[in-house]
Structures are given as C-alpha cells and as structure tokens.
Structure 1
C-alpha cells in the first residue's frame, strides 16, 4: 500500500467545468469574458495573445478566468489578486508570499476543464514548498492508436498488463494509465522530461471505493520508480471515472511525516455560474 500524505488537515477540491466549443462560445459568454479580463495579469494576457487557432485565444482566456475564480472561491481573495510564477517546463504556481500550504493544477480535454486546489493549515511547512499536485482529465477516444502509443511511451510492466487484456478492457486501461502518468509528470513539474518509461502504475493494486460525483473511484495507487531512487517525496494517486467517456487522475506528493489522506471532493459548475459568482468584481 502507498504511504499517505502528511496529515495537515488538507482538503483537495476538484472542480469540473464544461467549456463551450471553439466555435460555440456565443456573444453573451464572449462579453462576460471581456468584462472579466481585468482579472488577468499582463503575463497571462501575453500568453493568451500567442494563440493562433480561431477561437483558441478566447478559450484560453476562459480557462484562466475560471482558474482565478476557483482560487478566489477557495481563498476568499479577489480573482484579480493572484500572481503566478512558472517552473522550467511552464507549470504555474502561486507566488510564495500569497499564503499556504496551498497548490493547484488544471487540465482540460474535449469540453471539460478540471481545476484542482489543495489547501490546509500547518505552520510546519512553507507555502507550496512541499506539496506537489498534478491532475489530468482524459476523454476515451475510439480513434486513438493506443497500441502504437503505449508500446513507445509506457513502461515494461504497464505494457505487459495491457497486452493481457482484451481490446475493450485495453482501451479503458490505456486511458486510465495515460491519465495517471500525466498527473504524475505534472505534479513533479518536469513534464515529459520526467521520462514516461521511468515509472509505472499498477492498476491491479487499485482499491475501488464510493466517492460522490464519480461513477467509479479508485485509491491505493502510487507511481513506482523503475530507473531512479524514490527520493524523499511520498506520492499517492487517485483515479475516478466521471462517466463512460471521461476519467480524472490526481497525483499528490509531499515531504514529511506519514498521516491521514486529504479530504477529496468533486463539484461541477457551469462556466457562467463560476465566473458570475464574483459579480462585484465584474464591471457592467
């Protein structure tokens, strides 16, 4: 069984938002995004401005606005109050002077945006210094050549497990493993530089349990290091199926003593309700 994350009264909140398609934003949502744009920093606006595909710039603007709205909900701060730093591979994190312990991550697939925020109160650790959070949401796609992908990117134990399954089970397990592996490399902040062959998840170790908001939910997972030392960070992961198409993976790492698991919840919000929750910060 994996080690549990240090007991700091941590709460891990997952928020699921349905995004409009690139061509389906609509005038009302476009106007709302425009009115909320003053929440964004110059750095964020510059990153958004580099998008070239039609509709992508507005989609990225909505994603960043949703992130700020969710951070504001979790911290009782205003959506425009947050300032971000970026890791070597582009992972965003809040600047250290803005409270703690606290970490966040986000992911989107198809029309779903997943926002994850972990928070707690513990004077023993610095803000975001020893919490490593990564999330991934994946839509099961029937046209993806999963055989070519897992043979190239997955570790030997994961490949052997997939080979043992029939085609239907293999496709489900592939996207489960892909989501878990993505969540881990996002948690480390190293991205693909981590090397997808260097660690493995064993789905057979997962324990099914009931979790509100999920069709199926699994705990008892952790990444096993195959070509490097485990290090001082304790990792654990969770996997949940929202419906027959979408699955969510979360990986959390922490330094320190072993204790109770964080409280994990999943909520769903419409894009409009999440942004409109801060009407006092939206000019007319």
Structure 2
C-alpha cells in the first residue's frame, strides 16, 4: 500500500527538446553525445545497442541522455547517479532507494522529445512521493492515419460516439487529442496496452480551456472514466495542451488524493540541456 503524499507544492514540469532528424545528427551532436555517454548504465547501453535502423541508436542515446540531464536539473543530482528499474511493460522508474520527491515519464513523436517530472515539497518523512503515477504523451497530427479504422476498433463506446458526431474538419484533431490522453493514462498506470483502451473513456466536452504559457490551447478538468471494471482508490486527473497546429501533448497524474498541481512547459535546446552537465 503506497504512502500518502502531501497536498502542497506539487509542480509538474514538462520539458520539450528538439532532437535532430535520424539522418541529420551531425558531428557536433555526435561529439556531445560521446562526451556524455559515461552517464549511461550498462543496461541502457545494451538496449541502445539493439537498435538496427539507421540513426535509431543515436536517437535512443540522445533520449536517455536528455532524460538524465532533466532529472539532474530537477534534483541537483549528477546525471550518471540515477539507476532505473522497469515495469512489466517497460516503464522506467527510479530504484526505490533513489525514490526522491518526484515521478517522471517521457515520450517522443517526430523530432520532439517530452520529459515530464512531477515534484512535491519534502515533508520530512521521505514518503510523500509514493503513490504518484505519471504518464505523458506527445502526438503529431498525421494526415495519412486512418483514424476511422483505429477509433472504431480501439476506442471506448462513448469516445466512438463522440467522434462519429463530429464534422470531418474537426474529427482528426479530436482523434489525436483522445489518442494522446489515452496513451498518457495507460503509461501512468504502467500497464500499457494491457490496460485495454476500451475500458476507460475521456470526455472532451468536460474540458475547460485555460491560458497557459507555451501552449496555443490548454485544457484541464479531464479525467479518465472507468467503464469495464471498478475504479480503484487512485484519483486521476489529466491535462491536454496544443503546442501548435500539429503537435499536442497529454499528461495524466494519479495520486491517492486529489491534488492541486501547477503545470509548467519549458523548451530546452539539446546542446544547452546536455552541455550543462558535461564534466
């Protein structure tokens, strides 16, 4: 049974990093990645080494380096100090002895990487972060995706009905909004697709639009509604933000109690983020 967290000082930081294209890394980035490679653990290097597509190995290396650099920035620890465990569906988390006052998750789409970190003030017990579940997802609106085939097969009945009611000019945006939200939830639970995409639903009609720096549109007041099973005691809340006309991101946070969260979006150049922690 996880310990309770405090309801004070929760900050959710979303950091966007533009990655070089798979075939356009360049010598400067290669040298930077090489100088930072000592941050990575043996298991990370093994995972990276299994990549076979051209450029994919370097992309995965840069993703892991950016994650470590962002965690270091949030915690004041050295990037190489972190050790990770992985859930049954591959979700990374810090080993328990490194628990710290945060939870994290990451996602990338196209050439954009998103790292989400939720932080809570230390209440002196060392237990305040237990029971935090965070999932983030970033999606690029793709014009060649057959959205009708996907949502009719994978989405819940209420979501299918909602999308079917929309004019075609609105449906694609709404589909990717829901897709990002659903991905963020199944990543937060750590169960991945084993969660069953039809077992829960988001209602975009319940979203309230708010002004938020860094977003063209930002919505809150969303939470997944369980349909196929009894809900557990975890309290879920989600946010949806449009970065521009193509990219949107979604975040889902679970906690034992309803908590108030300040959401912040930062955009960091790759060279700046990694260069800050070079020895």
TM-score after normalising by structure 2: 0.95
Structure-2 separation of matches of 1:125 and 1:193: 31
Kept in 2, the 8 Å contact 1:162–1:173? The answer is yes
Question: Structure 2 CA distance, aligned partners of 1:277 and 1:213?
Answer: 23
Offset at residue 129 of structure 1 (A): 2.7
Taking the aligned partners of 1:123 and 1:143, their CA distance within structure 2 comes to: 52
Deviating 4+ runs (over 6 angstroms) = none
Gaps spanning 5+ residues in structure 1: where?
none
SS in 1 for 2:218: strand
CA contact (8 A) 1:100 1:127 kept: no
- RCO comparison, higher one (Cα < 8 Å, 6+): 1
Alignment of 1:105-184 (within 5 A): 105-120=105-120, 121-123=122-124, 126=127, 128-184=129-185
SS of residue in 1 equivalent to 2:220: strand
Q: CA separation in 2, counterparts of 1:221 and 1:267?
A: 22
Unaligned ranges ≥5, structure 2: none
* CA distance in 1 between partners of 2:167 and 2:82 (Å): 48
Counterpart in 1 of 2:49?
Answer: 49
> What aligned pairs does 1:41-120 form with structure 2 within 5 A after superposition?
41-120=41-120
For residues 213 and 232 of structure 1, the distance between their equivalents in structure 2, rounded to whole angstroms, comes to 33
Instruction: Please give the alpha-carbon distance, in whole angstroms, between the structure 2 residues aligned to 1:125 and 1:189.
Output: 23
Q: CA deviation at 1:230?
A: 1.1
Q: Distance in 2 between matches of 1:122 and 1:110?
A: 39
Structure 1 partner of 2:20: 20
Distance in 1 between residues matched to 2:178 and 2:124, nearest whole Å: 35
CA distance change for structure 1 residues 142 and 160 in 2, over 3 Å: closer, same or farther?
same
Deviation at 1:124, TM superposition (A): 5.8
Deviations 1:202-255 (A, max 9, x none): 000000000000000000000000011111100000000000000000000001
RMSD: 1.3
CA distance in 1, matches of 2:49, 2:129: 28
How many residues align structurally?
Answer: 274
SS at match of 1:185: helix
CA displacement, residues 85-125 of structure 1 (integer Å, 9 cap, x when unaligned): 00111100011111433100000000100000111123467
C-alpha contact 1:6 1:255 (8 A) present in aligned 2: no
